Structure 1
């Protein structure tokens, strides 16, 4: 949905994950935020954001990446402390402005996401698809490729029923989502919070606006009642939408090149020994996550030992079942179950919570979103640890390996109900968690 773009010369290459706090500013001036949201505002008759120098350079750059013309190496971990600070501030400012305006969409391509193994949701997908294709002959509807031959969805029956649907009913794949995210004008998520997280996983960089219908159990992220979908969609497409930009994290797995040497010290290696011409670790895969990164003991029967770093400082050694590093959006998920704080999604913070720590003094901590955290397995650890990203892509971290976590350049745009956007989060925790729910205290009846 939104991307902050830097000039190529503004990438200050440094230690493989360490941020220099006093790095000089590059000579070239950083570009102003160029984002998919700005292009929508400029292009589709929405209210313009004041003082925004809107252009299509961001989309052009993104298309070059899609076509393989630019190497995808511009990770947040390669930015200086100042650049990460500017980036996080820019995204927050954009989020504030977007929350106060309505974006008019010129909808052509609608992406529908639901669990392809749930009979009820397949039926709802079929119903929504038919309604969209009937409503407007300009709509093209994309459903998951596994539904092409699904008996419940019955794609061929849909096309036979109305031949005008042919050519407008299309099927998406994971590859299409990864390579051409700008194909889609809006995502309709049918399900629970897990479906919204799946949308975040599918669109690792640019994310179209996600309008989520509540068909799950709790629904912190699903804001709309599916029974009212004709009214909801008609209003969204005709009147416009309001978007909440949710902070995502970028997490990169860093593999030690000396993990068989148990005499090494991970703290000394990351803080002291690693230099520009002597990299001790190499990156292996980057994930943008909406909820949390978890490093835990996995299938091991004993607790994990985890070294925790913030920028160029060693914070502590964690001995616990694991550690949960959560976004504000993910504060009501695993973070809450592990004893962390509830956090409004507009807060620019990173939440760190231990999972069953082997000490009573490890309390949850809240850090600014300009910090780059690193959670690693010391070389002398008894066992490996395991990292997961929004509950997916679970990978083993062997002794010497670590994960670096920072604010992502690609936030997640969630569509809000127009009539209750200001109190949306409080409604969510009150409805789903029964937050501060109790009988009201009775008043005194004075004796006279």
Structure 2
């Protein structure tokens, strides 16, 4: 079973189901009743893995031969087809098969159940997890979820005068609309003169006990306390929500009050209608895959002598878990960037994918982006635009000192590692969605893999299918050009 954030249990997706319309109607008409007991929007995979439909196999209507002869000479199809009563020969596991069962990165604690970090999962587990997230996203896009809203979280820039006014207006509207709503705003607004929390309480005594203030610690310790997040601002505000909720993420309704707005789906002017429909009729959610990035610090070696990062990660010393130790993990929605920082020289970065050394990058830096972040730093660095439903990782060099480094697109089941070699001239710097900028000294590296905790975005009900194409056309003027004039044929 898959645990859902919205207080319900979403069944594991195993292909077509004749009863699916009825189940969908029952789910649409049901509302949750728990307030603080909601579960994390986390994909949980069973030991037997995720079953995939063999949609490419055409069923046959031929009656089986009495001699039990196989109907195909193809070795691959003989493994895929079911032959009742026919013993299947056992095959030795290949190198790729054995690699599916190995952990990719180092684990200094040697945990027996490394379920907390995706970098410590096996290749098969990461593949099943990413597949499960995509299938769950497809399922959620086809149903409307009704929420039992009680605790509303409002997020906006606390230093922007205009946004403070909008935050106060939205708070006042919510507290007036329903006596059971509790609204949380940032703690810095408690004594803000523009927000004037005391004035609100004096004007409306019924707001007492229902107007609350959130802190970063509350978001980290009790994220399940909030039923929904209202993001007032631009894409940066949505990224801030991802940074606040590193694991459990409530569904996010984003109102456009910024500049571009790839992630902001609703116009603020119509917020009363939008919120009324969302709370009363239900919401449709899109899951955006996030990356998990972990900083790995080089440990002092007792043997002394020269060290090689390639050997320590994929060579003879790759089994030594004590060469590096973790130093902080971040879930990111847009990108991980490793660059030269304040150093005057280029960065030298070793790039690894699973058990392979991909290349040595000599550039200002490297950008590893999610499909959601393809329109952000990845775009500015010359990377490809990518629809958010694609199961990929985008790798783009930043001002590479070569003519042949082209952007590359990799599957999201891979574990990337970007490290600073021991003989590098200078250290590099890593940032995560533009935050938590940290120094990577020679020997340090950062791992990047699919996260177990996706980011749920609430979609407009009337324009789900063309929302992304509309956003790049509206904000970037994608393929905008004056139309070529038609010929006027001469008939004389």
Cα deviations by residue, 1:335-383 (Å, 9 ceiling, x for unpaired):
0000000000000000000000000100000000000000000000000
Cα contact 2:114–2:121 (8 A) shared by 1: no
TM-score w.r.t. length of structure 2: 0.78
Which residue of structure 1 lines up, in the alignment, with residue 323 of structure 2?
A: 280
Cα contact 1:49–1:97 (8 A) shared by 2: no
What is the root-mean-square deviation of aligned Cα atoms in Å?
Answer: 2.3
Cα contact 1:40–1:103 (8 A) shared by 2: no
State which of 291, 294, 307 in structure 1 corresponds to 2:334.
291
The size of the alignment, in residue pairs, is 402
Cα contact 2:4–2:40 (8 A) shared by 1: no
Which residue of structure 1 lines up, in the alignment, with residue 185 of structure 2?
A: 143
Cα contact 1:114–1:189 (8 A) shared by 2: yes
The answer on 1:230 being equivalent to 2:230 is: no
Cα distance change of structure 1 residues 362 and 218 upon mapping to structure 2, 3 Å threshold: same
Residue 38 of structure 1, CA deviation: 6.4
Cα distance change of structure 1 residues 41 and 152 upon mapping to structure 2, 3 Å threshold: farther
Alignment of 1:350-429 (within 5 A): 350-429=393-472
The separation in 2 between residues aligned to 1:247 and 1:238, in whole angstroms, is 28
State which of 343, 365, 376 in structure 1 corresponds to 2:386.
343
Alignment of 1:2-401 (within 5 A): 32-37=1-6, 39=8, 47=25, 74-258=116-300, 263-276=306-319, 278-401=321-444
DSSP-derived class of the 1:279 partner? helix
Residue 100 of structure 1, CA deviation: 1.3
Cα contact 2:175–2:181 (8 A) shared by 1: yes
The separation in 1 between residues aligned to 2:379 and 2:425, in whole angstroms, is 28
Cα contact 1:108–1:139 (8 A) shared by 2: yes
DSSP-derived class of the 1:199 partner? helix
The separation in 2 between residues aligned to 1:255 and 1:346, in whole angstroms, is 33
DSSP-derived class of the 2:425 partner? coil
Unaligned runs of 5+ in 2: 12-22, 29-33, 42-112
Cα contact 1:204–1:288 (8 A) shared by 2: yes
The separation in 2 between residues aligned to 1:38 and 1:315, in whole angstroms, is 43
TM-score w.r.t. length of structure 1: 0.86
Cα contact 1:354–1:362 (8 A) shared by 2: yes
Cα deviations by residue, 1:379-404 (Å, 9 ceiling, x for unpaired):
00000000000000000000000000
Which residue of structure 1 lines up, in the alignment, with residue 70 of structure 2?
A: none
The separation in 1 between residues aligned to 2:10 and 2:178, in whole angstroms, is 22
Cα contact 1:141–1:169 (8 A) shared by 2: yes
Cα contact 2:413–2:450 (8 A) shared by 1: yes
The separation in 2 between residues aligned to 1:229 and 1:341, in whole angstroms, is 33
The separation in 1 between residues aligned to 2:454 and 2:480, in whole angstroms, is 32
The separation in 1 between residues aligned to 2:38 and 2:277, in whole angstroms, is 30
Cα distance change of structure 1 residues 47 and 251 upon mapping to structure 2, 3 Å threshold: farther
Higher relative contact order (CA 8 A, sep 6+): 1
The separation in 2 between residues aligned to 1:96 and 1:434, in whole angstroms, is 28
Which residue of structure 2 lines up, in the alignment, with residue 21 of structure 1?
A: none
Residue 279 of structure 1, CA deviation: 2.2
